[in-house]
Structure 1
């Protein structure tokens, strides 16, 4: 629930704490035969001790969330009534705005109930991969930093037909398949765990440095971190666990390597996409993968 702060006719409607529902918990719901988690990134994007956070009601149930950091940088996110990101931008103290995600909600009817989502990937033909697999999937563990950076800079493997929401990309396997994937072969998780040993943090160094190089050229880049589990355990616990793993890696990239939190999106997929097809405990399935999704979510970069 969002509380109003009515400060007079000239004051914007800026509810503060308690947070909107989307900032408190993730949602788990069914899409067809699959269960999906719509996790929140609020805690990862904000520091309760240092950041100032304001909410403003907009029309059609939308909420504008403004995070102001001690250095004056603002992260402004507009969400629809379901908590899905419609626009996210970074505004620097000198007034420059970098649009990380932008979706025109007028392009889609929004009279659906929560969870009644239609996969925009269904409108696309089956993916035809016309490049070698080695140019589509890269293992950062056996690649050098220059190779990882060059791989991140490569365009999607097919023409991007339209701009999608971040939630569309997170939920649609067909959309995600249109961009290349980096595996972090040197990073795995213990069974049932979402944390990693400090000794494994270095496995992310090449990916982090490549991200920072891209962000130097385009501060509006967005990278999706996918979390996965093996097939041991139930569907829902594994979904929650995989989402926590993706969030762990996102936090490490920010806390240890200074990759801005707003340039990262985390999403868990449970045991749905096994790297090794087995129902047994398998460390190679307890993993994360990373994709550059910028061309799918903003018109600022369609490469």
Structure 2
């Protein structure tokens, strides 16, 4: 099946470029008009779409203007991390610490974060509610262990666990989880023993965390004076695949205070808003389905090529694949459906385009972050999005 899918993509890629027809000229004019469209009342940032949450002492005041501390857009990932990395980060080998071999830990049901309520289980996905917001959790190692030659687990000091996935070529994917199950380290060890850091969170910070708290509450609202097209790329209007690479290669839109865990990035809209996103509105899912029709898989070729190019330059890149739905149907059901759609896109990127699963994280958000504010069926709200979150989860020079 994988071979047939790849051959179909290659055949489509080999087809001659169509001539510039009246239809293409019309679409180009429509694209230019859309890019000139002034920003209206619709909110741009996902963090601005969330329900108000009471801020804890020490956080920024809700009415504190972001523009008061505005700075120029960072020119690179390193510039964005300048505040967080005044001193060089010394990262030791992820396998140097001695561990005790254990059986595979059972993660059928994740630990309920303090202050959260378990609402429902849907297809091995667990839906929680906290601060008037739903979020979804599930075992996340399944994509990593597919086709693995060996998988083993070790218990480390301070109630941590180490998972080692050995690929057929000898590459090892090593993941360390803290006592709460959050990923605080992930490293790819190549056959020549070179270690590529994918995720790195300071131990000192996470050892002090006793409950989930959105780190975005400490930040003022994001209010950047940039055109929408420089922050969100709609795949529907992309004519040159090079646009995907150019867009994904851009740095965050503001300073990164520290490196965050994958769980913090997945759960915090304010932290995710630091990096730009691509809306893959060209993938058309059937109503209520998470399956990608075979005819749609080729539409991923452009963004997959950009991801491959970035990974060739830096094997430590990490991408977040987000799933979204419109507001039709039950909120909890939409959350599960959006998570399945994000997973389907990540699986297709691996099976057809060889994007390593360890370089992608997936998360569904249901109808929480509508692109078009309507309770009616809306295709633009049924979308999958991609963000390059590398500068949020790992020191910029870690792959060196």
- Give TM-score scaled by structure 1 length: 0.90
Alignment of 1:248 onto 2:344 = yes
Confirm or deny: 8 A CA contact 1:28 1:37 kept in the other structure: yes
Contact 2:163/2:174 (<8 A) preserved: yes
Q: 1:106 is matched with which residue?
A: 204
Superposed CA deviations along residues 69-126 of structure 1, whole A, max 9, x for unmatched, are 11100000001122210000100111000000000131145462xxx41110111111
Residue in structure 2 matched with residue 278 of structure 1 by the alignment = 374
Unaligned runs of 5+ in 2: 1-97, 111-122
1:54–1:65 Cα contact (<8 Å) kept? yes
206, 209, 224: which one aligns with 2:305? 209
1:35 aligns with 2:134: yes
Q: Determine if the alignment matches structure 1 residue 14 to structure 2 residue 112.
A: no
Q: Which runs of 4+ in 1 moved over 6 A?
A: none
Q: Does structure 1 conserve the Cα–Cα contact (< 8 Å) formed by 2:149 and 2:166?
A: yes
Residue aligning to 1:136: 231
Cα distance between partner residues in 2 of 1:200 and 1:250: 14
State the shift of 1:257 in Å.
0.3
Q: Which runs of 5+ in 1 are unaligned?
A: 1-10
Say yes or no: does 1:156 pair with 2:255.
no
Which residue of structure 2 lines up, in the alignment, with residue 5 of structure 1? none
User: How many corresponding residue pairs?
Assistant: 288
Which has the higher Rg, Structure 1 or Structure 2?
A: 2
Which string of whole-angstrom CA distances, capped at 9 and with x for unpartnered residues, describes residues 35-69 of structure 1?
1112332111112x543110101122211000001
Distance 2:148 2:393 in 1: 29
Change (3 A) 1:67 1:192: same
**More deviation in 99-108 or 245-254?**
99-108
Contact in 2 for aligned 1:187/1:203 (Cα 8 Å): yes
The root-mean-square deviation of aligned C-alpha atoms, in Å, is: 1.9
Displacement after TM superposition at 1:275 (Å): 1.5
From the superposition, tell whether residues 175 and 56 of structure 1 become closer, same or farther in structure 2 (CA, over 3 Å): same
Q: Is the 8 A contact 1:222 1:294 kept in 2?
A: yes
If the length of structure 2 is used for normalisation, what is the TM-score?
A: 0.69
**Greater relative CO (CA pairs within 8 A, separation 6+):** 2
Secondary structure class of the residue paired with 1:202: helix
Q: Are the counterparts in 2 of residues 190 and 283 from structure 1 also a CA contact under 8 Å?
A: no
Aligned twin of 1:73: 171
User: What is the aligned partner in structure 1 of residue 296 from structure 2?
Assistant: 200
Distance 1:153 1:184, change over 3 A: same
Which residue of the partner structure matches residue 393 of structure 2?
A: 297
